[in-house]
Amino acid sequence: MSEEKSLNFIEDIIEEDIKNGKYKSIVTRFPPEPNGYLHIGHAKAICLNFGLTKKYPGYTNLRFDDTNPVTEETEYVDSIKADIKWLGFEWKNERYTSDYFEQLYQLAVKLIEKGLAYVDDSTPDEIAEGKGTPTKAGIATPFRERSIEENLRLFKEMRDGKYKDGEKVLRAKVDMANPNMQMRDPLLYRIKHAHHHRTEDTWCIYPMYDFAHGQSDSIENITHSICTLEFVPHRPLYDWLIEKLEIFPSHQYEFARLNLTYTVMSKRKLLQLVNEKIVSGWDDPRMPTISAFRRRGYTPESIRNFCERVGVQKRENLIDLSLLEFFIREDLNKKALRRMAVLDPVKLVLTNYPEGKTEEMETENNPEDINASHRTIPFSRELWIEKEDFMEEPPKKFFRLGPGRAVRLKSAYIIQCTGFKKDDAGNIIEIQAEYLPESKSGHDNSGLKVKGTIHWLSIPHAKTAEIKLYNRLFKIEDPANAEGDFKKYINPDSLQVIPHAFIEPSLSTAKVGEYFQFIRKGYFCLDKDSSTDKLVFNRTVTLKDTWAKEKDK
């Protein structure tokens, strides 16, 4: 039975709007500022805005909110477009708020003509002072009563470059005593003699968010303008401007932004991590950016499923990283090709296996995918296995190798441990075992049942690679809201590099964008910084590890 999927509150509103004939189709937009890379929180907004117009008739625009030339760059524009496409969405129109600078200017003139905006010569401090506090009404500046003619002239002069940065601003004339701080004559335009990434040096005045965002929504006939909760107090101003300007009545709706445990989600903080070289860049796989998740081996499907699961609502939330990990494991379990790799090797010698002999062992590429077929892996007398798969004095519940114990070598033979060697420091440097010829995988007549199966690599055939293991970037769940500088909570062990791990021969042709599961070790992908003579693999996520928990008991 197909159960009714419940609607989120925005879908409720849209269904109502369509039902009562307010709209036949809808228009949404995703409005990033090109001043940083997109992160997983943006992915939620992208899935919401684009998802809505997949579900209901209509389309979604991509609009770069580029009203602050000093922080915005073309590099960010390009990364944002790449990330949205990778997530699997298509915008109808690619727009820039800067496309509307002339129209916006004319709207400002219209507001002045209506006596609803004025040029203020006050300093930033004086303006802040005049705004009052949340509990104390603001005080009007003397410039508030300038004539329309004078305001028109001064605003034109601002545009013409007659004034220096900060000398004058244009403000809306609303209500200095309004209990909503946003309504106390908000700034509309400021002077910035700065080079803009698109309009270059055409303008020296730039609209503020409040006089750009809503007006751009109207220009594009956005029916449902969806943003995050911090803009709720701006909505009365958004509506006031639409009313006074007599433009298309877009409506703003707000939802709670996504927060994830063990990371930070503000562009300012992420930029700090990049600038201070705490991470290698915006796409360092430890970052919560979309490009980092891509590089780390996350799939677009897993991120979309995650965004779908976390839902859309108005309450603050802090989502468990384990939920994201669940979705990537779920997706990769179906897709990833199984391969063998030994990260922390110790030598295993099969004393009764002929020297110089090699066999090709057949094994499945993905037991979850019947179309994934099989491959072969070379097997010989001397093998690499993981150090952690052998214990000198194993406890009862340890199902791996120990003196006298037997295990299955995955897709090969059952072996029984007959001895081991240590170096002077007491480290185990070699393990000896005998194999059971009649136990070969697929032709097993041994009648033996063993509890454990381990992975292995033939020493003469194995290739090497660098492997990078990532852990959470922060030591605590909510670094953004913890006391003091968030950087003091950075996890010093968030990156572990294994310079010389062993990988099976077939992995030497791995390509960026392919997904692998290194059996028993986790999901991995080839890093973009790999070269033909040096392969680098990133661990996307570990496998669930029940033994790790058991071990700790």
Distance CA 183, CA 345 (A): 66
The residue among 121 and 150 lying less far from RNA, judged by its C-beta, is 121
Any catalytic annotation for residue 267?
Answer: yes
The residue among 90 and 320 lying less far from RNA, judged by its C-beta, is 320
The residue among 256 and 280 lying less far from RNA, judged by its C-beta, is 256
Enumerate the β-bridge partners of residue 417. Answer: 433
Any catalytic annotation for residue 220?
Answer: no
- The single-letter DSSP state of residue 413 is -
263 contacts: CB under 8 Å, gap ≥ 6: 288, 321, 472, 473, 474, 479
Residue 119: strand, helix, or coil: strand
Q: Which residues of 491-511 are buried (b: 16+ CB within 10 A; e: fewer)?
A: eeebbeebeebbbbeebeebe
- Cα-based angle 312, 314, 318 (whole degrees, multiple of 5): 75
Active-site residue (options: 29, 63, 184, 267): 267
Residue 9: strand, helix, or coil: helix
Angstrom distances, CA of residue 406 to CA of 416, 418, 439, 449: 4, 10, 12, 9
Active-site residue (options: 81, 144, 257, 387): 257
Cβ at position 531, least distance to RNA in Å: 28
The residue among 277 and 443 lying less far from RNA, judged by its C-beta, is 443
The residue among 57 and 452 lying less far from RNA, judged by its C-beta, is 452
Cβ at position 63, least distance to RNA in Å: 10
Angstrom distances, CA of residue 495 to CA of 122, 285, 314, 474, 488: 50, 9, 35, 11, 16
Cβ at position 548, least distance to RNA in Å: 7
The residue among 309 and 534 lying less far from RNA, judged by its C-beta, is 309
How many whole angstroms from its chain centre is CA 496? Answer: 21
Distance CA 474, CA 239 (A): 41
Q: Are 185 and 28 in contact (CB under 8 A)?
A: no
Cβ at position 193, least distance to RNA in Å: 11
Any catalytic annotation for residue 102?
Answer: no
The residue among 92 and 269 lying less far from RNA, judged by its C-beta, is 269
Cβ at position 425, least distance to RNA in Å: 25
Cβ at position 418, least distance to RNA in Å: 20
- The single-letter DSSP state of residue 251 is E
For 126-181, what is the HEC assignment? Answer: HHHHHCCECCECCCCCHHHHCCHHHHHHHHHHHHCCCCCCCCCEEEECCCCCCCCH
Active-site residue (options: 11, 33, 325, 359): 33
Cβ at position 308, least distance to RNA in Å: 10
Give me the active site residues, please: 33, 257, 267
